Chain A
Amino acid sequence: MTPPPLQITCKEFAELVTAHEDGALPERDRIRFVSHSERCPGCRAYLQQFRLTVEALRSVPRETAEPENLDELARRFKEQKPPAAS
Chain B
Amino acid sequence: MVQDQAGVPRPVQGAFEADETLLVKALRCREEAAFVALVRRYHSLMLRVAYAQLNDASAAEEVVQETWLAVIKGIDSFAGRSSLRTWMFRILTNKASARLERDGRQIPFSALASADAVASEPSVEQSRFFARDHGPRPFFWVSDPREWPEDALLATEIRSVIGAAVRRLPDSQRVVITLRDLEGWTPGEVCEALGISDGNQRVLLHRARSRVREVLDGYLGDGPL
Contacts and interface: CB of A to CB of B under 8 A. Distances in A.
Given A45-B146, A58-B182, A80 B39 contact: no
Contacts of B122: 11, 14-15
A52 B153 contact: yes
Interface string B52-78: 000000000000110011001101110
Contact of B148 (A12, A19, A44, A52): A52
* A56, A61, A83: most-surrounded residue (chain B CB, <10 A): A56
B contact patch SS: helix
Contact of B202 (A12, A24, A78): A24
B65 A67 contact: yes
Given A22-B187, A57-B162, A64 B72 contact: no
Contacts of A78: 30, 32
A19 B206 contact: yes
Contacts of B65: 67, 69
Contacts of A46: 124, 145, 225
A34 interface: no
Interface in B156-211: 158-159, 162-163, 166, 177, 181-184, 187, 198, 202, 205-206, 209-210
Contacts of A18: 202, 205-206, 209
Contact of A67 (B43, B75, B209): B43
Contacts of B183: 62
Interface string A32-49: 000000001111111011
B10 interface: no
Interface stretch (B82-90, B91-99, B101-109, B133-141): B133-141
Contact of B147 (A9, A45, A67): A45
Given A17-B123, A43-B145, A53-B209, 7 more contacts: A18-B209, A54-B209, A61-B159, A63-B44, A63-B48, A64-B44, A67-B43
Interface of B: 28, 30, 32, 35-36, 39-41, 43-45, 47-48, 64-65, 68-69, 72-73, 75-77, 122-124, 129, 138-141, 143-148, 150, 152-153, 158-159, 162-163, 166, 177, 181-184, 187, 198, 202, 205-206, 209-210, 212-213, 216-217, 225
Q: Which 7 A-B pairs have the closest CB atoms?
A: A42-B144, A9-B139, A18-B206, A65-B44, A57-B181, A11-B139, A56-B153
Interface of A: 9-12, 14-15, 17-19, 22, 24, 40-46, 48-50, 52-67, 69-70, 73-74, 76-78, 80, 82-83
